[in-house]
Amino acid sequence: MLTAKQHELLRFIQHRLDETGISPSFEEMKDALELKSKSGVHRLISALEERGFIRRLPNRARALEVLRPLDEAGAARSSASSKAIGSHSALTNVADAPPPPQPANDVIEIPLHGRIAAGMPIEALEDTQTLPVPAALLGSGDHYALEVSGDSMIEAGILDGDFALIKRTDTARDGEIVVALVRNEEATLKYLRRDGGKIRLDPANAAYEAQIYMPDEVHVQGKLAGLLRRYH
C-alpha cells in the first residue's frame, strides 16, 4: 500500500504523461506536492520504483514510465485527509493545463574525485571538483564520480574517459562492480568476487588477469550506479 504522498505523486506523473507524453520535472513535482525540496521528490520516486509502480528510463534526465495503473496503488484511501483530496484537485488542474515542454533541468552536482584505474590499480586522486549529473541516473543514497582511466572494463561497457557514478557503500555482493581500495593506498574499479577466503578483483577484458588479495587488504568504497560519457 502506498502512502498518501506516494499515491498523489503517482497520480500526478500519470496525468502528465497522459496529457503531454512527457514526464514532469522534479521541480514541477515538488511544487505540485507542496514539498520543501527536491530531495523529498527523490525519496518518493525511489519508493515508487522499489514497489514496482514506476521505472526511470536510462540515460535520460526527465523520463519516467508508469508500470502499474493507479487502481493498483490502492482503492480510495481512508487515511487520506481532506488536504490530500484538495491536493488531488490541485494536481488535476495542473494536469489539465500543462506548461509547454521544457528542457530537462533536473541536475545534481556530485563530488568528482579524480581518476580511477580500470587497469592496474593507481592511486585515487581527491579534489574539490563537482560533476553535474542528471537526477534520473541516481537513486537513493550518497554518490560521487570518478573518471575512468584504462581499458580493463571495456567488456562491461566502461571505457577510458567515462565518468563512473558511484554509490557510497562499504558492502557489495559477489559479481557487483565496485570501487575497491587496495591496501589503503590504491583504488580500482573491478568486479568483486570472494574466492576461497580471498578477495578476487576481476577485470572485464581478457587481456588482464584477476587480482587476488587477502580480505583485510581490500575495502569496498562504493559500487557502480551509472556511467556518463562525453563524445568529442
Q: Is 37 a catalytic residue?
A: no
Same domain, 89 and 183: no
Residue 207's pLDDT band, with cuts at 50, 70 and 90, is very high
How many structural domains compose the chain? 2
Instruction: State the residue range of the domain holding 9.
Output: 4-96
Q: Give yes or no for residue 146 having a pLDDT over 70.
A: yes
Q: Is 190 a catalytic residue?
A: yes
Query: Does residue 156 sit within a domain?
Result: yes
Query: Does residue 104 sit within a domain?
Result: no
Q: According to the model, what pLDDT value does residue 106 have? A: 67
Same domain, 92 and 116: no
Same domain, 185 and 144: yes
> How much is the pTM?
0.54
Cα–Cα distance, 112 to 165 (Å, whole number): 9
Query: Does residue 188 sit within a domain?
Result: yes
Same domain, 142 and 223: yes
Same domain, 85 and 114: no
Same domain, 52 and 130: no
Same domain, 159 and 217: yes
Cα–Cα distance, 62 to 22 (Å, whole number): 8
Query: Does residue 145 sit within a domain?
Result: yes
Instruction: Tell me which of 112 and 214 has the higher pLDDT.
Output: 214
Q: pLDDT tens across 38-53, in order?
A: 777 878 888 888 888 8
Same domain, 89 and 114: no
The catalytic position among 23, 25, 87, 152 is 152
Domain boundary among 96, 127, 144: 96
Same domain, 90 and 121: no
Same domain, 43 and 126: no
SS (H, E, C) the chain: CCCHHHHHHHHHHHHHHHHHCCCCCHHHHHHHCCCCCHHHHHHHHHHHHHCCCEEECCCCCCCEEECCCHHHHCCCCCCCCHHHHHHHHHHHHHHHCCCCCCCCCCEEEEEEEEEEECCCCECCCCCCEEEEEEHHHCCCCCEEEEEEECCCCHHHCCCCCCEEEEECCCCCCCCCEEEEEECCCEEEEEEEEEECCEEEEECCCCCCCCEEECHHHEEEEEEEEEEECCCC
Query: Does residue 70 sit within a domain?
Result: yes
The catalytic position among 5, 30, 167, 190 is 190
Check which CATH number belongs to the domain holding 26 and give it. Answer: 1.10.10.10
Q: pLDDT tens across 84-138, in order?
A: 434 444 444 444 444 444 444 467 888 888 788 766 554 455 555 888 888 777 8
Query: Does residue 102 sit within a domain?
Result: no
Query: Does residue 47 sit within a domain?
Result: yes
Domain boundary among 75, 96, 117: 96
Q: Give yes or no for residue 196 having a pLDDT over 60.
A: yes
Same domain, 71 and 137: no
Average of per-residue pLDDT across 44-70: 74
Domain boundary among 26, 61, 96: 96
Same domain, 124 and 88: no
